[in-house]
Amino acid sequence: MHRFIVDEAPLAGRVDLPEEEAQHAIKVLRLRRGDKIELTDGRGRLYAGRISEIDKKRASVELQGERPSRESNLRLAVYMGYPKAEKLELIVQKLTELGVVHIAPVMMTRSVARTQDFSNRGQRLERIAREAVKQCGRSVIPEIDAPVQWDEALRQMAACDLVLVPWEEARANRLRDLRERYPQAVRIAIVIGPEGGMTTEEISRLEEAGALSLTLGPRILRAETAAISAVSAVMTLWGDM
């Protein structure tokens, strides 16, 4: 079923699709009056709807009731060593599909990209996240930060129940063991290093703040692979996969 985001709350009665969404429904999907769709406000509510009016420029939807949310109870945030543009786009798309609610690029010592590179990228990342939300049937658009400095990232992580740090040199912890130790964790942060990995100083600061370093196995993963793998595993153990 086709899904659309309506930046309007609360949704009730009959609503008009935003111009861009309406044009997609009219020109790309070629929807007709009576077709069933889903609407979300992007903040957690999901609705069944039916196209009630549609012409060359406008589409109206009659709401037919709220649907159960497909959002996980897990509130998962990812703090990602600021990667190159194409990698960040992939990460945003896939982490949105997996259920992450907050993505924060972090300026780490070995980050290749720089903050000025982000100036024209924020809107594109938001569009990628919105399309991923529609594709996978979510009802929450994840928050995507502009690149944050290390101290600000640590401050944000302090509000989480659990901070996990996949690290190629970690040996002691595995995710399944941490799940047994912290079964009630809901607000979980995952910290992923940039292409060159995190420095020992960065790992030390995280551990001093209470973060737990862990291994994802004997193979060294690329940054984007580590992010997707870690989120998938955490969603499997703590979430709804």
- 88 and 132 both lie in a single domain: yes
Could you tell me if 82 and 58 lie in one domain?
no
How would you label 157-170 residue by residue, b for 16+ Cβ within 10 Å and e otherwise?
A: beebebbbbbbbee
The CATH number linked to 98 is 3.40.1280.10
Judge if 155 and 79 occupy the same domain.
yes
Q: Domain range holding 107?
A: 75-237
pLDDT on residue 211: 96
Residue 165 sits at the vertex; the CA angle it makes with 162 and 166, to the nearest 5 degrees, is 135
Q: Which residues of 84-102 are buried (b: 16+ CB within 10 A; e: fewer)?
A: eeebbbbbbbbbbbbbbbb
The overall average pLDDT reported for the chain is: 92
Q: Are residues 102 and 207 in the same domain?
A: yes
Residues 79 and 42 grouped into a single domain:
no
Residue 197 sits in the same domain as residue 224: yes
Tens digit of pLDDT for each residue in 4-46? 999 876 677 889 999 999 999 999 999 999 999 999 999 999 9
Same domain (yes/no): 115, 191: yes
Report the candidate in 240, 241, 236 with the shortest Cα–Cα distance to residue 73: 240
β-strand partners of 48:
38
Which residue, of 67, 92, 117, is where some domain finishes? 67
Residue 35: which CATH number? 2.40.240.20
**What's the rounded Cα separation, in Å, for the pair 61 and 36?**
9
Q: For the chain, what is the domain count? A: 2
CA proximity to 164, closest of 173, 156, 155: 173
Are 17 and 96 in the same domain?
Answer: no
Distance CA 113, CA 107 (A): 8
Do 42 and 87 lie in one domain? The reply is no
- What is d(CA 231, CA 101) in angstroms, rounded to the nearest whole number? 11
pLDDT digits (tens, 9 = 90+) for 173-215: 999 999 999 999 999 999 999 988 999 999 999 999 999 999 9
Do 52 and 81 fall within a single domain?
A: no
Domain boundary (49, 67, 85) is at 67
Domain's final residue, options 47, 67, 87? 67
Note whether 196 and 85 are same-domain residues.
yes
Percentage above 90 pLDDT, the chain? 80
Based on the domain organization, do 79 and 61 belong to the same domain? no
